[in-house]
Amino acid sequence: MSGNFHLTILGSSSATPTSNRNPSGQYLNFIDRNILIDCGEGTQSQIRRYKLKLTKIEHIFISHLHGDHYFGLPGLLSSLHLLNQTHEVHLYCFKELKEILEQIFKYSDTYLRYRLVYHFLDPKRPEVIFEDDKIQVSSFPLKHRIACCGFIFREKPSLLSVKKDMIELYKLSPHDIVKIKNGEDFLDEEGNLVKNQHLTHAPNPLLSYAYCSDTVYDELLAEILYNVSLLYHEATFCNDQKERAEVTFHSTAEQAALIAKKAQVEQLLIGHFSSRYKDTGVFVQEAKAVFEKTFLAEEGKTFVL
């Protein structure tokens, strides 16, 4: 395990909180980028409860404007202000959320001491919405009752590591090493071509995480989600409520597992459980029958890749 990926579940309930489940929220530390994904009611309390870094959050992704995915956001943003945060926060959301927040801040006479930078989502097409030297984040449309987007977080390739014994064997210069780290082959003194893979250590597999918040069963997602390291897919209902899932544009645990299987992902994480289910064990049992590597998104649980 590289430890470059830590995902902590803050909430796994759909629609309303229960006595032991909060609405949607996840805290992702991905290669030292601190990211919040959705922000249901009580999210900042959960961040404190699990000893995560509230003031270190740099990016917030809100999948859609049903309250169980953003009602905790105004309070969290206000707390950052009261905690004297100065670094800017980037908010990826639908444009209507800016209107909502501005009205709340207006009538509460709140003027944030830090810069809140908005990045508006396109509900109709996939697009890259953030990128730096280490990670890339894309959004993609989900089929829900209102405009809704999922997110894919991908690790970007890093420079290759040159084997120490190869440096000595071929008397590689600093210039040679830079070229080899960037993937080039090498010509030795006799003019023989030495392939890059002979000179460098095999790179670690690149990590990726896909987040599908609220969506009806949609087989077209399999292509978008293909081969991700970890997939979070909502599983609001079990098969006993399959018709209800379709009417409300949600998925069952079995359907989430079918998407994971078709997309050939490495692991599946399910959450967004309806409050009608007291025992979440039924969800993982149903999903595992289709996709064995299924785990429950349980409050306080941290997944490390």
Render pLDDT for 91-110 as a digit per residue (tens, 0 to 9). Answer: 999 999 999 999 999 999 99
Q: Is 302 helix (H, G, I), strand (E, B) or coil?
A: strand
Instruction: Read off the pLDDT of each residue in 3-16 and give the average, rounded to a whole number.
Output: 93
Give the pLDDT score at 1.
Answer: 35
Look at the block and give the residue holding tokens 């509900």: 123
Look at the block and give the residue holding tokens 């930078």: 117
Instruction: Read off the pLDDT of each residue in 252-264 and give the average, rounded to a whole number.
Output: 98
Q: Which of the four pLDDT bands, split at 50, 70 and 90, describes residue 3?
A: low
Give the pLDDT score at 170.
Answer: 87
Mean pLDDT rounded to a whole number for the chain:
95
**Nearest 5°: CA angle at 88, between 85 and 94?**
120
Distance CA 68, CA 107 (A): 22
Distance CA 293, CA 229 (A): 11
- Specify whether the CB–CB gap between 14 and 272 falls below 8 A: yes
Alpha carbon distances (Å) from 187 to 25, 99, 159, 203, 274: 52, 60, 20, 22, 62
Whether the CA torsion 166, 170, 171, 175 is positive or negative: it is negative
Distance CA 257, CA 144 (A): 18
CB under 8 Å to 160, separation ≥6 — which residues? 180, 181, 182, 183, 196, 200, 201, 203
> Which are the catalytic amino acids?
68
- Specify whether the CB–CB gap between 207 and 229 falls below 8 A: yes
Residue 48 has pLDDT above 80, yes or no: yes
Give the pLDDT score at 116.
Answer: 98
Question: Which tokens hold the place of 102?
Answer: 């501005």
CB under 8 Å to 75, separation ≥6 — which residues? 44
Comma-separated ranges of CATH 3.60.15.10 domains in the chain: 5-158+203-304
CB under 8 Å to 234, separation ≥6 — which residues? 14, 212, 213, 214, 215, 250, 251, 256, 270, 271, 272
Q: Please write the tens of the pLDDT for every residue from 50-72.
A: 999 999 999 999 999 999 999 99
Give the pLDDT score at 203.
Answer: 81
Residue 230 has pLDDT above 80, yes or no: yes
Question: Which tokens hold the place of 221?
Answer: 């997602």
pTM of the model: 0.91
Q: Please write the tens of the pLDDT for every residue from 124-182.
A: 999 999 999 999 999 999 999 999 999 999 999 888 888 899 888 888 899 988 898 88
Residue 300 has pLDDT above 60, yes or no: yes
Residue 2 has pLDDT above 70, yes or no: no
CB under 8 Å to 197, separation ≥6 — which residues? none
- Specify whether the CB–CB gap between 5 and 209 falls below 8 A: yes
Look at the block and give the residue holding tokens 């959450």: 271
Provide the β-strand partners of residue 230.
209, 267
- Specify whether the CB–CB gap between 181 and 119 falls below 8 A: no
Question: Which tokens hold the place of 126?
Answer: 């996939």
Nearest to 64 by CA among 35, 88, 100: 100
Residue 189 has pLDDT above 90, yes or no: no
CATH top-level class for 5-158+203-304? alpha beta
